Structure 1
Amino acid sequence: MNRNICILGVPMDLGQGRRGVDMGPSAIRYAQVKERLGKLGYDVQDLGDIPVPSIEERTANELNLKCLNEVVQVNQVLAERVSEIVGGGRFPLVLGGDHSIAIGTIAGVAKHVQRLGVIWYDAHGDLNTGETSPSGNIHGMSLAVSLGIGHEKLTGIGGYAPKIRPENVVIIGARQLDEGEKLLIREIGLKVYTMHEVDRLGMTRVMEEAISHVTQGTDGVHLSLDLDGLDPHDAPGVGTPVTGGLTYRESHLAMEMLAEAEIITSAEFVEVNPILDHSNKTAKVAVAFMGSLFGEKLL
């Protein structure tokens, strides 16, 4: 793992239907992410937050894309900042904010590698478009956009498309998929480990297979971790909780296996919503996972 980390916050809730996730970066910082990673011997720089416009009107436009221009604006800046971090030889650790910020993070990272692998740790597929989305919320479209599927203003962020290929992506923990997403998954042959596979195979085998999959022909791997991938019992402070999710211990094991594999070259942790949380529990969980991802061990 790169020993030099840059933390970058994106306090955005424009891609999400419930307010409050814009306070996620502050909650994660309050849970002492910089201090925890510093104790592991990393050189950690906190670059602060990217400015996000404040708007109250969030109705979907005629394309069923809420806050399209603002989401594009923020992600374009994010892509540029992440690209600068990678170009400077440091590891970008992005704190969300809603999951629409993955559009900018991946755009900034992918331009520095020939082929980027992605582990999408999430209860949802985020594979909708304006045509298939029930809500018009762009945080449910971010993986599709990164694959080059969706509105050109979104897919064109960073100046190129697509950023990633279906054969280099793995979704882990899915348990709520819209009909349009299911059709797309089958059409493009995306690798998905739903909770059925996690229960049936066990987390160790899922992660072994996922690691093998995203490292075939790639020269970098990005982790996009949505805290709603966990069961709400372990991570209550998220905007779109789905029961029956990944456990705290399963997720630690996943992060520990990624640390041992030494494959992750960039990461983002998203959808922490302090308004819906209990005593900052979900932000503390996120920081604990970051500790495991970066090599923290009990012994």
Structure 2
Amino acid sequence: MRPASIIGAPTDIGAGTRGASMGPEALCVAGLVEAVARYGCDVKDCGNVAGPANPGLPAVDGFRHLREVVQWNRALNAAVYAELVDGRLPIMIGGDHCLAIGSISAVARHCREQGKTLRILWLDAHADFNTAALTPTGNIHGMPVSTLCGYGPRELVEIGGCVPAIRPDQIRQIGIRSVDEGEKRFLREVGIEVFDMRYIDEVGMRRTLELALAGMDESTHLHVSFDVDFLDPEIAPGVGTTVRGGPTYREAQLCMEMVADTGRLGSLDIVELNPALDHRNMTAELAVDLVESLFGKSTLLRMYQP
């Protein structure tokens, strides 16, 4: 059985809407631990990392709650790195997407030390490539990708011990459909590979994933950062930043199934679930359903590749 570790990060410190701090509990209520165990994992529940409360303050110099965001991400970085060193697959459940700074910087450090090639799938409605100069809100959950690529305050970009924590060519963004004007230009300048919803509409989810996963081999560590607002809000209303026109249930399932087929999944984020905005925990239950597919649930024992 593959060892996996669930690490909770119950905070909405980087978000503009309160409530994502309740996400880890909602995912557990929806059966996340049992679901991962059901598909061949020896699951350890590490409990929650601790950090400061959300002070609800306005942005200062382009950042809201920078000091608190740094504290949460440092704690999470240490927790994720410890599980990787122990040979386990960390599953970070948030919490808002600023937490990916801590989790992915830990994964990147581990990959450097082990000589692994890192590939990141960023499943999200948003590119999260803002900076203090570009952001319209100061919310740091809109900045984790740029921060990981080295464009951010020293306290955050140095968390993983190497600046930048990742290179732009290590990340593939899928499902993007809401990007701020300055962010669009910056994405193009830096060279982030983005498969937006128009691209998915034109070529389909299968071709999109084939391209996003191309070039991986046995030395690849695949990290999936799954923001629940990746999904269309018709099926996943429990997020604070809904954007219409996202992947359908079947498109999302195909995405997860194709990731599972690679056998390369090494770490996972599940973020931005907001139970305060959900209907009878349906978004949490859907997220757990998709995670099951990510760990190998399938309708049939497939005899061929189409």
Q: TM-score, normalised by structure 1?
A: 0.96
Paired residue secondary structure (1:291): helix
Contact in 1 for aligned 2:50/2:75 (Cα 8 Å): no
Alpha-carbon deviations, 1:190-223, whole Å to 9, x = none?
A: 111110000000000000010015x389731210
1:47 and 1:13 map into 2 onto residues whose CA distance is 20
Paired residue secondary structure (1:149): coil
1:57 and 1:90 map into 2 onto residues whose CA distance is 35
1:127 and 1:200 map into 2 onto residues whose CA distance is 24
Paired residue secondary structure (1:51): coil
Paired residue secondary structure (2:45): strand
1:191 corresponding residue in structure 2:
193
> Where do residues 119-268 of structure 1 align in structure 2 (5 Å cutoff)?
119-212=121-214, 215=216, 219-268=220-269
2:304 corresponding residue in structure 1:
none
Alpha-carbon deviations, 1:119-157, whole Å to 9, x = none?
A: 100000000011100000000000111111111111111
1:116 and 1:150 map into 2 onto residues whose CA distance is 21
The letter for the 1-side match of 2:244 is T
The letter for the 2-side match of 1:255 is M
Paired residue secondary structure (2:214): helix
The letter for the 2-side match of 1:54 is A
From 82, 101, 104, give the equivalent of 1:103: 101
1:84 and 1:192 map into 2 onto residues whose CA distance is 31
2:4 corresponding residue in structure 1:
5
Over 3 Å counting, the alpha-carbon distance change for 1:53 and 1:295 in structure 2 is same
2:66 and 2:219 map into 1 onto residues whose CA distance is 31
For residue 14 of structure 1, report the CA deviation from its aligned partner: 0.7
Percent identity, aligned pairs only, is: 44
For residue 270 of structure 1, report the CA deviation from its aligned partner: 0.4
Alpha-carbon deviations, 1:132-190, whole Å to 9, x = none?
A: 00000000000111111111111111222111111121100000001121111111211
Paired residue secondary structure (1:135): coil
From 77, 80, 83, give the equivalent of 1:82: 80
Structure 2: where are the runs of 5+ without partners? Answer: 301-306
1:146 and 1:285 map into 2 onto residues whose CA distance is 28
Paired residue secondary structure (2:110): coil
2:186 and 2:119 map into 1 onto residues whose CA distance is 19
Deviating more after overlay: 156-165 vs 275-284: 156-165
2:298 corresponding residue in structure 1:
297
The letter for the 2-side match of 1:55 is N
Paired residue secondary structure (1:220): strand
The letter for the 1-side match of 2:37 is G
Structure 1: where are the runs of 5+ without partners? Answer: none
Paired residue secondary structure (1:83): helix
Paired residue secondary structure (2:290): helix
1:169 and 1:218 map into 2 onto residues whose CA distance is 16
2:141 and 2:219 map into 1 onto residues whose CA distance is 25
Paired residue secondary structure (1:173): strand
Paired residue secondary structure (1:79): helix
CA RMSD of aligned residues (A): 1.4
